[in-house]
Structure 1
Amino acid sequence: MTSNVLFLMTDQHRVDTLGCYGNATVATPNLDRLAASGTRFDRWYTPTAICTPARASLLTGQAPFRHRLLANAERNVGYLEDLPPDSFSFSAALRERGYNCGLIGKWHTGTHRTAADFGFDGPDLPGWHNPVDHPDYLDYLAERGLPEHKITDEMRGTMPNGRPGNLLAARLQQPVEATFEAYLTTRAIELLERYAADRADAGRPFYLALNFFGPHLPYVLPDHYFDLYDPDDVELPASAAETFEGKPPVQRNYSAHWAFDTMTAADSRKLIAAYWGYVTMIDEQLGLVLDALDRLGLDQQTAVFFTADHGEFTGAHRLHDKGPAMYEDIYRTPGLIRIPGGPAGQVRDEFVSLTDCTATILELAGVDPAPAVDSRSLLPLARGESPAWDGHLVCEFHGHHFPYPQRMLRTDRYKLVINPDSVNELYDLDADPDELRNAYDDPALAGTRDELTAQLYRLLRDRGDNFHHWMTSMYPIGDDVRENPSASRMETSP
Structure 2
Amino acid sequence: MSPRNILFLMTDQHRVDTLGCYGNPTVTTPALDALAADGTRFDRFYTPTAICTPARASLATGLHPFRHGMLNNPERNGGSKDELDDDAPLLWRRLQDQGYRVGHVGKWHIGRERGPEYYGLDGEHLPGALNPFHHPSYEKWLAEHRFPPFAVADPVFGTAANGTGRGHLLAGRLRQPAHATVEAFLTERTLGLLERYAAERQSDGAPFMLSCHWYGPHLPYLIPDEYYDLYDPADVPLPASMAETFAGKPDVQRRYSEYWSADAFDADAWRKLIAVYWGYVTMIDHQVGRLVAALKRLGLWDDTAVFFTADHGEFTGAHRLNDKGPAMYEDIYRIPAVARVPGAPAGRVCDDFATLTDLNPTLSDLAGAPRPERCDGSSLLPLLSGTPAAGGERDQVVAEFHGHHFPYSQRMIRDRRHKLVHNPESTHELYDLRADPHELHNVYDAPAYAAVRRDLTARLYGELQRRGDPAYSWMSYMSDIGGDRAADVDGVAGEVS
TM > 0.5 fold call: yes
In structure 1, what is the equivalent of residue 335 of structure 2?
333
Residue 480 (str. 1) matches residue 485 (str. 2): yes
In structure 2, what is the equivalent of residue 21 of structure 1?
22
In structure 1, what is the equivalent of residue 127 of structure 2?
126
Compute the displacement of 1:481 (Å): 2.8
In structure 1, what is the equivalent of residue 153 of structure 2?
152
Compute the displacement of 1:370 (Å): 3.4
The answer to whether the Cα contact below 8 Å between 2:54 and 2:71 also exists between their aligned partners in 1 is yes
SS in 2 for 1:165: strand
The answer to whether the Cα contact below 8 Å between 1:157 and 1:165 also exists between their aligned partners in 2 is yes
SS in 1 for 2:450: helix
- Aligned equivalents of 1:236, 1:120: Cα separation in 2: 42
- Aligned equivalents of 2:125, 2:479: Cα separation in 1: 47
Q: Deviations over 1:79-129 (max 9, x none)?
A: 111111211100011111111100100000001221212222112111001
User: Gaps (5+ residues) in structure 1?
Assistant: none
Residues 266-345 of structure 1: matches in 2 within 5 Å? 266-345=268-347
In structure 2, what is the equivalent of residue 193 of structure 1?
195
Residues 369-388 of structure 1: matches in 2 within 5 Å? 369-387=371-389, 388=392
Percent identical among aligned pairs is 58
Q: Deviations over 1:337-380 (max 9, x none)?
A: 01110011001100000111000000011111233511111100
- Aligned equivalents of 1:215, 1:149: Cα separation in 2: 17
The answer to whether the Cα contact below 8 Å between 2:488 and 2:494 also exists between their aligned partners in 1 is no
Residues 39-54 of structure 1: matches in 2 within 5 Å? 39-54=40-55
The answer to whether the Cα contact below 8 Å between 1:69 and 1:82 also exists between their aligned partners in 2 is yes
Residue 393 (str. 1) matches residue 393 (str. 2): no
- Which stretch of the first structure deviates more once superposed, 441-450 or 113-122? 113-122
The answer to whether the Cα contact below 8 Å between 1:240 and 1:315 also exists between their aligned partners in 2 is yes
Residues 338-377 of structure 1: matches in 2 within 5 Å? 338-377=340-379
- Aligned equivalents of 1:200, 1:490: Cα separation in 2: 65
SS in 2 for 1:54: helix
Residue 428 (str. 1) matches residue 429 (str. 2): no
- Aligned equivalents of 2:12, 2:394: Cα separation in 1: 27
Q: Deviations over 1:306-343 (max 9, x none)?
A: 00000000000001100010000000000000111001
The answer to whether the Cα contact below 8 Å between 2:398 and 2:411 also exists between their aligned partners in 1 is yes
In structure 1, what is the equivalent of residue 4 of structure 2?
3
Which amino acid counterpart does residue 87 of structure 1 have in structure 2?
Answer: A
What RMSD, in angstroms, separates the aligned Cα atoms of the two structures? 1.2
Q: Deviations over 1:118-149 (max 9, x none)?
A: 22211211100111111111121111110110
- Aligned equivalents of 1:484, 1:284: Cα separation in 2: 53
Which amino acid counterpart does residue 483 of structure 1 have in structure 2?
Answer: D
In structure 2, what is the equivalent of residue 101 of structure 1?
102
SS in 2 for 1:171: strand
Compute the displacement of 1:480 (Å): 2.9
Compute the displacement of 1:165 (Å): 1.0
- Aligned equivalents of 1:123, 1:82: Cα separation in 2: 17
- Aligned equivalents of 1:485, 1:141: Cα separation in 2: 58
Which amino acid counterpart does residue 257 of structure 1 have in structure 2?
Answer: Y
In structure 1, what is the equivalent of residue 496 of structure 2?
491
User: Gaps (5+ residues) in structure 2?
Assistant: none
Compute the displacement of 1:159 (Å): 1.1
- Which stretch of the first structure deviates more once superposed, 65-74 or 129-138? 129-138
Compute the displacement of 1:389 (Å): 2.9
Q: Deviations over 1:444-477 (max 9, x none)?
A: 0001100100011000001111100011001122
Quickly say closer, same or farther: Cα 1:293–1:374, change in 2 above 3 A.
same
Residue 458 (str. 1) matches residue 462 (str. 2): yes
Which amino acid counterpart does residue 414 of structure 1 have in structure 2?
Answer: H
Residue 66 (str. 1) matches residue 73 (str. 2): no
The answer to whether the Cα contact below 8 Å between 2:354 and 2:394 also exists between their aligned partners in 1 is no
The answer to whether the Cα contact below 8 Å between 1:168 and 1:219 also exists between their aligned partners in 2 is yes
- Aligned equivalents of 2:377, 2:11: Cα separation in 1: 20
The answer to whether the Cα contact below 8 Å between 1:398 and 1:406 also exists between their aligned partners in 2 is yes
- Which stretch of the first structure deviates more once superposed, 475-484 or 155-164? 475-484
SS in 2 for 1:394: strand
SS in 1 for 2:158: coil
In structure 2, what is the equivalent of residue 242 of structure 1?
244
In structure 2, what is the equivalent of residue 411 of structure 1?
415
SS in 2 for 1:74: helix
The answer to whether the Cα contact below 8 Å between 1:397 and 1:404 also exists between their aligned partners in 2 is yes
SS in 1 for 2:169: coil
- Aligned equivalents of 1:210, 1:299: Cα separation in 2: 17
TM-score norm. by structure 2 comes to 0.97
- Aligned equivalents of 1:150, 1:30: Cα separation in 2: 28
Q: Deviations over 1:403-454 (max 9, x none)?
A: 1000000101000000001000000000000000001001000011001000
In structure 1, what is the equivalent of residue 474 of structure 2?
470
Compute the displacement of 1:482 (Å): 2.7
- Aligned equivalents of 2:94, 2:135: Cα separation in 1: 30
Q: Deviations over 1:24-51 (max 9, x none)?
A: 1000000000000000000000000000
Compute the displacement of 1:487 (Å): 3.8
Which amino acid counterpart does residue 326 of structure 1 have in structure 2?
Answer: M
- Aligned equivalents of 1:175, 1:383: Cα separation in 2: 41
The answer to whether the Cα contact below 8 Å between 1:231 and 1:266 also exists between their aligned partners in 2 is yes
The answer to whether the Cα contact below 8 Å between 1:312 and 1:320 also exists between their aligned partners in 2 is yes
In structure 2, what is the equivalent of residue 257 of structure 1?
259
- Aligned equivalents of 1:265, 1:489: Cα separation in 2: 58
Residue 438 (str. 1) matches residue 439 (str. 2): no
- Aligned equivalents of 1:316, 1:453: Cα separation in 2: 26
Compute the displacement of 1:486 (Å): 9.4
- Aligned equivalents of 1:375, 1:206: Cα separation in 2: 22
- Aligned equivalents of 1:318, 1:7: Cα separation in 2: 33
- Aligned equivalents of 1:485, 1:264: Cα separation in 2: 52
Compute the displacement of 1:488 (Å): 6.4
- Which stretch of the first structure deviates more once superposed, 318-327 or 473-482? 473-482
SS in 2 for 1:209: strand
- Aligned equivalents of 2:339, 2:202: Cα separation in 1: 24
The answer to whether the Cα contact below 8 Å between 1:49 and 1:309 also exists between their aligned partners in 2 is yes
Which amino acid counterpart does residue 48 of structure 2 have in structure 1?
Answer: P
Q: Deviations over 1:4-38 (max 9, x none)?
A: 11000000000000000000100000000000000
- Aligned equivalents of 1:158, 1:275: Cα separation in 2: 20
